[in-house]
Each structure stands twice: as C-alpha cells, then as structure tokens.
Chain A
Amino acid sequence: DIVMTQSPDSLAVSLGERATINCKSSQSVLYSSNNKNHLAWYQQKPGQPPKVLIYWASTRESGVPDRFRGSGSGTDFTLTISSLQAEDVAVYYCHQFYSPPYTFGQGTKLEIK
C-alpha cells in the first residue's frame, strides 16, 4: 500500500497569512503513461463530505479560489493557501489515486490563530 503522510497534524495561521500543508507518499505517484501525478487534495468542514480542491497535484477544481495552490511531484507535495480566510478552517487531506488500495493522508486540521 502507498502510505500518505501529512505534516503538520494541525496548524494555526492568522487571517491573511499563508498556510502550508505537506504530503509525502511512500512511493512515487507520478504515472509514466500520462506524466501526471495521481495526487489530489480535499477540504472537509465539520458535518460535510470532503470536497476536492486540487487534482493532478496542481490543477485547481472548477470554482476553487485561486488562493489554493498545489505543487510537487513524485513523492513530495504541498498545498498552499496564500491568504487564509475564515472559511478555510477545515481538515485537509491528500489522496493518492495512483494504485489501489487508494489511500489518504491522516489529515491536517487548519485553524485561525
């Protein structure tokens, strides 16, 4: 199984400041046939299902604000929120869809400082 490890487990950032969440996979999720990283980021607010923010490691889902940015390749990935807004308080998960069993990171809880 591909193990996804996120850091930190929790993060407190001031409004308007940058938030950075890291995700490391135990093996590369770069698919050679399409040269894409099979890595997605989700946001989950209390009582709601996860919502996809980023896929292919860096492609923003339609409707997602451009303050959300995904980067990285191979085994190391980052989700950056450039200017934290109050509505960004949530748990964030990375997810590999490179090979089954599809796995998720343990989650990073983002709060306002």
Chain B
Amino acid sequence: QLQLQESGPGLVKPSETLSLTCTVSSGSISSSTYYWGWIRQPPEKGLEWIGSIYYTGSTYYNPSLKSRVTISADTSKNQFSLKLTSVTAADTAVYYCARQGYYCGSGGCEQPYYFDYWGQGTLVTVSS
C-alpha cells in the first residue's frame, strides 16, 4: 500500500521560508505514470492546490503562489519537497502531499489526474 508522509517544521516565522518534504514508501516517485503534488488547507477552510512535479523535474505551479514556490524531487531518496518563501500568517495551513495519475499515449500526454493517495498532512503555523 502506497504511503506518503509529510515532514518539516511546524512553526515558521513571518518572512522566512517554509520547507516540507514528502517521503513516499511502497512506491516510486520515478514512475512514469504519476505526478506528485502539494495541496494545503487553512484551518476550517477549503483546499488549495500548490503545485505538482514529475520525476523528470517538470513542474506545474499555482499562479497565485508561483513567485514564492519551488517544488523539487530527489529520486534517490524517493522524496519530493516544497519550499515557500516570504511566508505570512495567511500561509498557516495543513499541508498535504499527494499522488496524481498521469498518462502519455501515442496521441500525446494528458494533464495529471485527480489525487488518489494523500499523506496525513502536517500543520504549519506562521507566527513570530
């Protein structure tokens, strides 16, 4: 059974950089049939997609966060990571990592699919 586990500091000071890592077990992030994404959820609010990465390093980012976000992958450790710079209280949220299916056929590649496996999430609070 695929498992994803987020890790990183639970408290970040305003203006600093939030850094999280997602460790994948019982599956490989180097698979050609998956993207790997980050989604966040402020307390008592809805879900916001942050961005997704393919094992080759190809990324999609949410334009609303793009100037502050970097997602990277370390295939040797079977991990992918999120960095969010210049954080404010508005970045306080539960951060989830998740897997997206992906298909490329003779006609080309489709967009990554829905999120089928999720980590348990980690709460990151931005406060001094």
Contacts and interface: CB of A to CB of B under 8 A. Distances in A.
B100 A97 contact: yes
B111 A99 contact: yes
A38 B111 CA distance: 9
Interface in A1-27: 1
Given A50-B47, A104-B48, A95 B114 contact: yes
B114 A97 contact: yes
Contacts of B100: 97
A100 interface: yes
Contacts of A89: none
A93 B45 CA distance: 12
Size class of the A contact interface (CB-based, 8 Å): 20 to 34
B110 A52 contact: no
Interface residues of B, number: 26
B111 A93 contact: no
Interface string A38-82: 101010000011111001000001000000000000000000000
A101 B111 contact: no
Contacts of A1: 63
Interface of A: 1, 31, 33-34, 38, 40, 42, 48-52, 55, 61, 93, 95, 97-107
In order of increasing CB-CB distance, the 8 nearest A-B pairs are: A40-B114, A49-B118, A104-B47, A101-B62, A102-B49, A100-B60, A55-B114, A107-B46
20 contacts: A38-B111, A40-B114, A40-B115, A42-B115, A48-B120, A50-B115, A93-B47, A95-B47, A97-B111, A97-B114, A99-B111, A100-B49, A100-B52, A100-B60, A101-B64, A103-B49, A104-B46, A104-B47, A106-B46, A107-B46
